[in-house]
Amino acid sequence: MRHPRGVKTLARLVATLSQRWWAIVLLGALIALMARRLIELSARMRLLTGHAVFDLQGALGIEGMRAQLAHYTPEAVRLYGRFSSIDFFFPFLNALFWAALAAWGLRRARPALFATGAWQRWLPWAFVGCIFDWIENVTNAWLIGRYPPLHEGVAGVALVARNGRIVAVSALAVLALAFALWGATTSIARFVNRRAT
């Protein structure tokens, strides 16, 4: 099956990362540093507006957005711009990390199956949460930059994107951890069997 060039490039990147455990660890460390910075910026936003950034509020609704936007100063708008600039890279690297971890597990558990490349058909699904996150970022930036008034249709898209991101990223993380566990237990079992013989 032929894949678009972008999927082939992603597949090569994921396959390369999955060969090197230390590359996955370094990518995880970079993601942790970015997450820390995002949390710091959100804490500064809380000092300015009384609330965290929209992206980090799970129970936020349209009326909550309207009430919070009334407290956004020009400084808060600039701060959200800084948050958003990091948050455009963060979801892509996060998806790349989980995809590489899952590929590492599959490579360890079933090397022959990994070598067929069949896993590449499922690779775009690993980036669905990233796409939802980007939609959320664009719509939130649009809302913040154009307030007042609050455009409820755009706010609704932002909230749907946020919920889609949460579901997609959670599912990807669970799946990747399951593949990593499968790969790790298979590798340990092979090692024990070799030592026993």
Give tens-digit pLDDT for 105-157.
999 999 999 999 888 889 999 999 999 999 999 999 999 998 888 899 999 99
| SS3 (DSSP) at 182 | helix
108-117 long-range Cβ contacts below 8 angstroms, 24+ apart: 108/182, 108/183, 108/184, 108/186, 108/187, 109/179, 109/182, 109/183, 109/186, 117/11
Query: Phi-psi category of 60—alpha, beta or left, where left has phi over 0 and alpha has psi -120 to 50?
Result: beta
Q: pLDDT digits over 157-196, tens only?
A: 999 999 999 999 999 999 999 999 999 999 999 889 888 8
Paired tokens of 24: 């996955």
